[in-house]
Structure 1
Amino acid sequence: MTVDRWLGRIPLDSPSVFLKLVPTLVGFVIALGLTFIPGVMSAHLPVFIVGATAVMIGALLLALLVPWRRVGPRWTVAVPLVAMASIALMRIGTGGSTSAIGVILLLPFVWIATEEGRRNIVIAAVGIFVVLLGPILVDHDATSPADLLRAFFSPVIYLIVAAVVNEIAHRSRVQLAASRAVAAQREELLEQAQRTQDELVLNEARLKTANRLIQSIWNAVTEQSVIGTDLDGVIDVWNPGAEKMLGLTEAQVVGHDRRVIEFHLVSELEDRLRDMDARFTTVVSADDFSALVDTVRAGYADVRDWTYVRADGKQVPVQVAATPRIDENGHRVGFIFVATDMTQAREFARLKDEFVGLISHELRTPLSSILGYLELMRDDDEAPLSDEQLQYLGVAERNAHRLLRLVGDLLFTAQVESGRFPIDITDAELRSVVSASVESARPGAAAAGVALVMEVPDEPVDVRGDTVRLGQAVDNLVSNALKFTPAGGSVTVSLRRDRDEAVVAVTDTGIGIPAVELSQLSQRFFRASTATRNAVPGVGLGLTITKAIVTAHGGRLDIASEEGVGTSISLHLPIETPAPVAEAVPGAEAAP
């Protein structure tokens, strides 16, 4: 049995008054029994012994019958006081000051002194004083000076003893309460530790299951390359798909300070860096990780086409989705690059482009023939058509021309994808190109209720380029701006010099484009969600053609838009002689 449990059994603050009375009751019964033995303890005044017995019985009944739990512990001292009165009567009846029964007084005295509260010190001392004074009051003639001295001096000693006993009991209660609190806290900690251990065991089992599942999934990802890096681009994650795609095992890459840019084409990294900041006048170092994660650092996921270079030097066209790696505190600790092999997709696209180009080329001949015969019917003076027939003929001509333009656009995009489309580089004056596009679009702008504004400088702006193709690019931008601008809005077409560049900007106050869709605008057949929601007609080829033309002239296409506010698209063309991206096809027929 521990000390704490042993102390817990001491009835210092026990609500059981009867248990506290038992020692006094036993002592009284023993003293009462001794009075019946001749020569041991004589009964001088039997009436007091009877009275003492009656009073002790009253104390017993008081301890048993009173609901002390409801009355409160402060009133329980009434029982030892009654017991003390019983012992006082017994003491008077068995010899008074000379009676040996007085020693039993210590039992109720200690009981009262150990109760909580300093007032019980005084109660215990006063009780002793009354008991010692009793024989003197009953038989004062037989009282000696020593009895008087004892009656008045002994309570002082008892008072001191009561104070000491009360303090010891108080400290014992404090220590007991502290021990119980510590024990309760220990029990609670043990229970909590047990619960924590059970949770840890359960979580460990769950973690093992999750790890096995993740490992199974990780090993199953063999068609996509997953590469993880730190903030500087050093590779620390390399999945089986990366092993298959790039020809290196995880052991050959992870832990060897290999960087992800080592598996990219240098030329593509340089082009990307130039696009990020067109103000660069020298070749930017290809060993710049920013080319891959600039968009991700800005807080956006980035999906872009790249070319991976395998360990054996073979090039693999891929589409890479770059995302940040986040720790448990929400801090970015690196990047994840998920790449999909686009070799088959590119081959399918090439075959599709060849098919589209073939079909488009074959469609042009019958369409041109149809338009020719429609023109002959309109100009036939020998058999003139009625007004109604001319109206029908006009509808047929407009639709035939529309179909011919669409076929031309399809043929042009197919030529762009193949890397060869017709372009004739000469001296081109952009003021006339912009003016021609604006004047051609004015009737449509007036019909749509859109203000068309042109801002061109007074001095010429000359570039080296294909006037027809540049005019086609500007026409596409103006046409798009008018289509996406509601009545009452405005479209501004401006031309300016910006150091060594000529900039043609088309700005509208139309429906705008969501920011997440801006990077996809130049893809073939892509249409913004705002266009589909507002049922704006089109097939999604205009910007594809425009970007191809601008790129062929060594320039770039910048797009800025805010949904519900408007869009601004600008063509940046070098004023010096460009190195055309697309090779001119001698003798090729230009698509309209």
Structure 2
Amino acid sequence: MESSGNTGYAADSAMAGRFAGVSGVAESLVENLSIGMVMVDNEGTICYLNQMAERILQISRQDVVGKRVYMLPLKTAIYKVLGENCRDYPVEMNIHGLVVQARATSVICREGACLGDMYELRDITAERREQRKSDEFVASMTHDLKSPLTVMLGYLDALVGDPKVLAGERAAQCVAEIKRSGHRLQGMIEDILDSYRLDAGLVEIRREFCNIGKVLAECCADLAQDAETHGIAFSCTVDPAIPIVKADAKQIGRLFSNIISNAIKFTPKSGEIKVSGFMDGTDIVMEVSDTGIGIPAKDQERIFNKYFRSAKVKGYKGTGLGLTICKALAEEHGGSIEVASSEGEGSCFRVRIPTESQSP
């Protein structure tokens, strides 16, 4: 049996004859599997490795095929794998910087005899990395959800515990802070729920006649006060020529609000934010530019990824889901979102919604 591009698979190996009947197509399939395969016979002799096994274990089959497992150097990756008891359940191990899951299963011939064990090697490094991000997100989110709740409960205790507070101006301040923290808590919970809905394919876009220019103007009116409170100059211009289209006003409004809120969050005092809505050909464009902290070039391709938060924003509260949701909502309307940014100089987010696919 020939090995695809690997003359080192010894044709005169004592075990090679057992697999001689395998067709060339089947051999090619095994050779090009995305998982590593290692065959060991009943006497502990290594019979076969496919290309992925060579890559994961960083070893050439010429060096091991025909050898018994106990003859291998103890510190090699292949000895580490084959020396594990992974028949009953898969075992995870670190090999050359990869997280590899190994599992052994018996190979039974048509006559019912056991030919040996086949070891499956799966590179699950990316999966474990994503799981770690998810775990870190849950830990961070638990803390962030508790913060506004603690603030709300503290002010409620002040209102209930001191009758004088209820009668004074302090009451209005307490209520305002409770309301602000409540909205913040609600926003984070909605992000989590929408993230789940996106993963499950449950986000529903309800298209109705919608004035996107008006939606943008209302978002700006709601958030202008927030920018002023943070000492940020805020301006908004909306082209009255933006047409009425069929879109989900609520989801579009959420998209706009998320981007504008981000600009406010990451722009320091005395900074400036400019929001504009205009037509570019047949596209409705919403643009938000700021003089904030900016986004490092190496992070700009990843900021729309789920849970991703740049090291630059460490210390800023957030779920790491907002931009992921914004991108999904823009794409659900047939549009797109892009960013241009320079670290330390600010960012410009641009959302495009085509009118052709959203026309009444």
Q: TM-score, normalised by structure 1?
A: 0.34
Give the deviation of 1:422 after TM superposition.
Answer: 3.0
Once the two structures are superposed, residues 482-517 of structure 1 have per-residue CA deviations (whole angstroms, 9 ceiling, x without a partner) of: 222222222111112222221111111211111110
Distance in structure 1 (CA, Å) of the matches to 2:319 and 2:207: 29
Paired letter, 2:187:
R
RMSD of equivalent CA atoms:
4.1
Paired letter, 1:467:
A
Tell me which of 497, 504, 523 is aligned to 2:305.
523
SS in 2 for 1:463: strand
Distance in structure 1 (CA, Å) of the matches to 2:346 and 2:176: 35
CA 1:566–1:397 in structure 2 vs 1: closer, same or farther (change >3 Å)?
closer
Q: How many residues align?
A: 231
Distance in structure 2 (CA, Å) of the matches to 1:459 and 1:390: 41
SS in 1 for 2:35: helix
SS in 2 for 1:520: coil
Gaps of 5+ in 1: 1-214, 216-237, 252-338, 379-383, 580-592
Q: How does 1:98-109 map to 2 (within 5 A)?
A: none
Q: How does 1:456-535 map to 2 (within 5 A)?
A: 456-532=238-314, 535=315
- Corresponding position of 1:403: 185
Distance in structure 2 (CA, Å) of the matches to 1:437 and 1:519: 27
Give the deviation of 1:525 after TM superposition.
Answer: 2.9
Give the deviation of 1:404 after TM superposition.
Answer: 2.2
Tell me which of 286, 301, 317 is aligned to 1:537.
317
- Corresponding position of 1:553: 333
Distance in structure 1 (CA, Å) of the matches to 2:231 and 2:127: 47
- Corresponding position of 2:56: none
SS in 2 for 1:559: strand
Matched, 1:386 2:167: yes
Once the two structures are superposed, residues 53-104 of structure 1 have per-residue CA deviations (whole angstroms, 9 ceiling, x without a partner) of: xxxxxxxxxxxxxxxxxxxxxxxxxxxxxxxxxxxxxxxxxxxxxxxxxxxx
CA 1:494–1:414 in structure 2 vs 1: closer, same or farther (change >3 Å)?
same
CA 1:458–1:529 in structure 2 vs 1: closer, same or farther (change >3 Å)?
same
SS in 1 for 2:245: strand
Q: Which segment is superposed worse, 448-457 or 241-250? A: 241-250
CA 1:417–1:241 in structure 2 vs 1: closer, same or farther (change >3 Å)?
farther
Give the deviation of 1:479 after TM superposition.
Answer: 0.9
Larger RCO, structures 1/2 (Cα 8 Å, 6+ apart):
2
Give the deviation of 1:407 after TM superposition.
Answer: 1.1
Q: How does 1:100-499 map to 2 (within 5 A)?
A: 243-245=33-35, 385-387=166-168, 388=170, 391-499=173-281
Q: Which contiguous aligned blocks of 4+ residues in structure 1 show a shift greater than 4 angstroms?
A: 246-251, 339-349, 388-394
CA 1:396–1:483 in structure 2 vs 1: closer, same or farther (change >3 Å)?
closer
Give the deviation of 1:241 after TM superposition.
Answer: 9.2
CA 1:400–1:488 in structure 2 vs 1: closer, same or farther (change >3 Å)?
closer
CA 1:346–1:572 in structure 2 vs 1: closer, same or farther (change >3 Å)?
farther
- Corresponding position of 2:66: none
Paired letter, 1:485:
T
Does the 8 Å CA contact 1:463/1:574 hold for their aligned counterparts?
Answer: no
CA 1:340–1:501 in structure 2 vs 1: closer, same or farther (change >3 Å)?
farther
Gaps of 5+ in 2: 1-7, 9-27, 38-48, 53-121
Give the deviation of 1:569 after TM superposition.
Answer: 0.8
CA 1:556–1:340 in structure 2 vs 1: closer, same or farther (change >3 Å)?
farther
Give the deviation of 1:461 after TM superposition.
Answer: 2.9
Q: TM-score, normalised by structure 2?
A: 0.54
Distance in structure 2 (CA, Å) of the matches to 1:516 and 1:449: 30
Distance in structure 1 (CA, Å) of the matches to 2:219 and 2:174: 29
Give the deviation of 1:434 after TM superposition.
Answer: 1.2
Once the two structures are superposed, residues 83-134 of structure 1 have per-residue CA deviations (whole angstroms, 9 ceiling, x without a partner) of: xxxxxxxxxxxxxxxxxxxxxxxxxxxxxxxxxxxxxxxxxxxxxxxxxxxx
Distance in structure 2 (CA, Å) of the matches to 1:398 and 1:443: 12
Does the 8 Å CA contact 2:245/2:358 hold for their aligned counterparts?
Answer: no
Distance in structure 1 (CA, Å) of the matches to 2:213 and 2:34: 54
Distance in structure 2 (CA, Å) of the matches to 1:390 and 1:458: 38
Does the 8 Å CA contact 2:242/2:279 hold for their aligned counterparts?
Answer: no
Give the deviation of 1:250 after TM superposition.
Answer: 5.3
SS in 2 for 1:421: coil
Once the two structures are superposed, residues 364-385 of structure 1 have per-residue CA deviations (whole angstroms, 9 ceiling, x without a partner) of: xxx9xx99xx8xx99xxxxx94
Distance in structure 2 (CA, Å) of the matches to 1:448 and 1:412: 28
Which protein has the bigger helix share?
A: 1
Does the 8 Å CA contact 1:463/1:573 hold for their aligned counterparts?
Answer: no
Give the deviation of 1:555 after TM superposition.
Answer: 1.0
Distance in structure 1 (CA, Å) of the matches to 2:231 and 2:172: 29
CA 1:460–1:244 in structure 2 vs 1: closer, same or farther (change >3 Å)?
closer
- Corresponding position of 1:163: none
- Corresponding position of 2:57: none
Q: How does 1:25-36 map to 2 (within 5 A)?
A: none
Which protein has the bigger strand share?
A: 2
Distance in structure 2 (CA, Å) of the matches to 1:503 and 1:389: 42
- Corresponding position of 2:64: none
Tell me which of 570, 576, 580 is aligned to 2:356.
576
